[in-house]
Amino acid sequence: MLMDKWARTLKAFDDLLLNILVLTLPILIYSKLRMDKPYQEPSIFNPKWVFAYCSPLAVFCISHPLFSAGEISYDLSLIPLLAAFLYGGIGSGLIVSAVEIVFSYYFHGPEVEWVALITVFLIPFILSFIYLSNWKHKSPKIMFPALLALICAFATFCVSLFDSFTNEIPFTLSSILIGLGYCVIHMLTMSMITFLIEHIKENLALRQEFQKSEKLNVLSELAASVAHEIRNPMTVARGFMQILNQSQVSEEKKRMYTAMVIEEIDRAQNIISDYLSLAKPQAEKLEKLDASTLSQKLANLINPYASLLNVQIAFEMESYLWILANGEKLMQCLVNLTKNGIEAMPDGGTLQIRGYKEKDLVRIEIRDNGIGMTHEQLERLGTPFYSTKQKGTGLGMMVSYRIIKTFGGTIDVTSQLNKGTCFVVTLPGAS
């Protein structure tokens, strides 16, 4: 006799752990998957879909009761029912209620009468409790669902006692202890479920606030940097305009100052163009291009500028390096990289441009033997408004990184101080 009771107790404990695992596991899995994605309104808390999560859980709880007292089976189906009302509203709660009644009849047959009675009896009470407590605006929120679960479980126990009384089933101490344990289990389980859900919602909300704050910080940094960079050429242009306004300036100096004003205005315009390319990237129309032909045009384009700085261009390119890209944007990126390489050799040197195919990838190397960069400079390369050049804005590198990324490629940089830098542009090859 004692062994039978001990075996029933162990089985009830195993069933309890299984029910709790099934109730909590979907929430934990959802939390793990959701945290790896950008924030959106969590679909699991969308009222339109809450019933889709709670209904299968209710069916499982009904089919796996914890224990029985006489002809009455005690299960945790109240937990998904309460969750449906709390997080899904009246519609989801009523759907889960109907599901519970139908499957209670399927699994328990004659007992469906008192199950339906309990469910119908509890619905107005649940709705009244939710409406009067205004629990979603309270903190902490765990206490209200736990109290609701305790009261509903106790009401269920009372109905079961009434059913036993009407059927002349004698009360026993064990049946009363089972009922009280049933109430406590509901309260603790509902507390745990509510804690997990609210914790996930809080974490997702914090992530959203963090992302918004990060975007605002970047925006303010960009705005301040752009204003600073534009102010420099505008200040220079204003100074030359003031000089030009003086009557004693010779015609030769007027022409020189006018050219300087135009140069500074062009510089400001380039800064604005780079900023717009970075802030509002547009979908580019990709076409099949031969990177070797494009690189040859690049060499011809930058050769005059390189000659002015006593830099030689060493060109080595395999034939028929087909890629999918926008020719104009790719040329803009390569010009930025080669121009940086040329300017990194103030005393002259050699700029090597090499292109080759490696498996399904096309690589374009731009290597200089200039001043190089430190590890800290490499880490900051491509970040907002960081430049190793005295008059640089950093926008050109940011735009270059963005362009290559839109083509599905990458830019890898290696550098040694006083030895040189190598940029490797990697793009997917086109068949």
Tell whether 26 and 170 lie within a shared domain: yes
Domain extent, residue 420, equals 287-428
At residue 278, does pLDDT exceed 70? no
Tell whether 56 and 178 lie within a shared domain: yes
At residue 366, does pLDDT exceed 90? yes
At residue 133, does pLDDT exceed 70? no
Q: What whole-number distance in Å separates Cα of residue 301 and Cα of residue 315? A: 13
Tell whether 22 and 134 lie within a shared domain: yes
CATH of the domain at 189: 1.10.1760.20
Q: Tokens 């793009």 label which residue?
A: 427
Asked whether residue 128 is assigned to any structural domain, the reply reads yes
* pLDDT top residue among 308 and 72: 308
Tell whether 52 and 181 lie within a shared domain: yes
β-bridge mates for residue 312, sequence order: 350
* pLDDT top residue among 210 and 171: 210
- Place 361 in a pLDDT band, splitting at 50, 70 and 90: very high
Tell whether 12 and 161 lie within a shared domain: yes
HSE-CB for 39 with a 13 A CA cutoff = 13
Asked whether residue 259 is assigned to any structural domain, the reply reads no
Tell whether 295 and 421 lie within a shared domain: yes
Q: Let me know how many helices (H) and strands (E) the chain has, helices first.
A: 11, 9
Q: What is the pLDDT of residues 390-431, one digit of tens each?
A: 455 556 777 788 888 888 899 999 998 888 999 999 999 887
Tell whether 18 and 152 lie within a shared domain: yes
In this structure, which long-range contacts are made by residues 270-279, counting pairs with CB atoms below 8 Å and at least 24 apart in sequence? 271/226, 271/229, 271/230, 271/233, 271/393, 271/395, 272/226, 272/230, 274/393, 274/395, 274/396, 274/398, 274/399, 275/222, 275/226, 275/395, 277/399, 277/402, 278/222, 278/395, 278/398, 278/399, 278/402, 279/222
Tell whether 207 and 294 lie within a shared domain: no
Question: What are the residues whose beta carbons fall under 8 Å from the beta carbon of 111, sequence distance 6 or more?
Answer: 71, 72, 73, 104
At residue 86, the pLDDT reads 84
- In this structure, are residues 78 and 152 in contact, taking their beta carbons and an 8 Å threshold? yes
At residue 259, the pLDDT reads 83
Domain boundary among the residues 212, 245, 268 is at: 212
Instruction: Give the mean pLDDT of the chain.
Output: 78
Query: What is the DSSP code (8-state) at residue 71?
Result: T
What one-letter code names the amino acid at 83? A
- In this structure, are residues 395 and 270 in contact, taking their beta carbons and an 8 Å threshold? no
Q: Tokens 């839109």 label which residue?
A: 406
Highest mean pLDDT among 37-51, 249-263, 288-302: 288-302
Q: Tokens 């190397």 label which residue?
A: 365
Question: Once rounded to an integer, what is the mean pLDDT over residues 205-222?
Answer: 77
- Quickly list H helices, 35-142: 47-63, 78-108, 112-133
Question: What are the residues whose beta carbons fall under 8 Å from the beta carbon of 202, sequence distance 6 or more?
Answer: none
Question: Once rounded to an integer, what is the mean pLDDT over residues 17-41?
Answer: 75
* Range from 17-21, 250-254, 384-388 carrying the lowest mean pLDDT: 384-388
* pLDDT top residue among 302 and 246: 302
Tell whether 348 and 200 lie within a shared domain: no
Asked whether residue 248 is assigned to any structural domain, the reply reads no
Of 150, 161, 153, 146, the residue nearest 196 (C-alpha):
146
At residue 386, does pLDDT exceed 60? no
Question: Once rounded to an integer, what is the mean pLDDT over residues 191-200?
Answer: 87
- Place 359 in a pLDDT band, splitting at 50, 70 and 90: confident
At residue 2, the pLDDT reads 53
Q: What is the pLDDT of residues 155-195, one digit of tens each?
A: 778 777 776 666 666 667 777 787 888 889 989 999 999 88
CATH of the domain at 311: 3.30.565.10
Domain boundary among the residues 212, 246, 268 is at: 212
Tell whether 88 and 194 lie within a shared domain: yes
Asked whether residue 256 is assigned to any structural domain, the reply reads no
Crossing angle of helices 327-343 and 395-406, rounded to 10°: 140
Asked whether residue 417 is assigned to any structural domain, the reply reads yes
At residue 69, does pLDDT exceed 70? no
Asked whether residue 278 is assigned to any structural domain, the reply reads no
Asked whether residue 261 is assigned to any structural domain, the reply reads no
Question: Once rounded to an integer, what is the mean pLDDT over residues 99-126?
Answer: 68
β-bridge mates for residue 257, sequence order: none
At residue 111, does pLDDT exceed 60? no
Tell whether 126 and 33 lie within a shared domain: yes
Domain boundary among the residues 212, 243, 274 is at: 212
At residue 228, does pLDDT exceed 70? no
* Range from 50-59, 148-157, 291-300 carrying the lowest mean pLDDT: 148-157
Tell whether 52 and 184 lie within a shared domain: yes
- In this structure, are residues 171 and 182 in contact, taking their beta carbons and an 8 Å threshold? no
Number of domains, the chain? 2
- In this structure, are residues 428 and 361 in contact, taking their beta carbons and an 8 Å threshold? yes
Asked whether residue 227 is assigned to any structural domain, the reply reads no
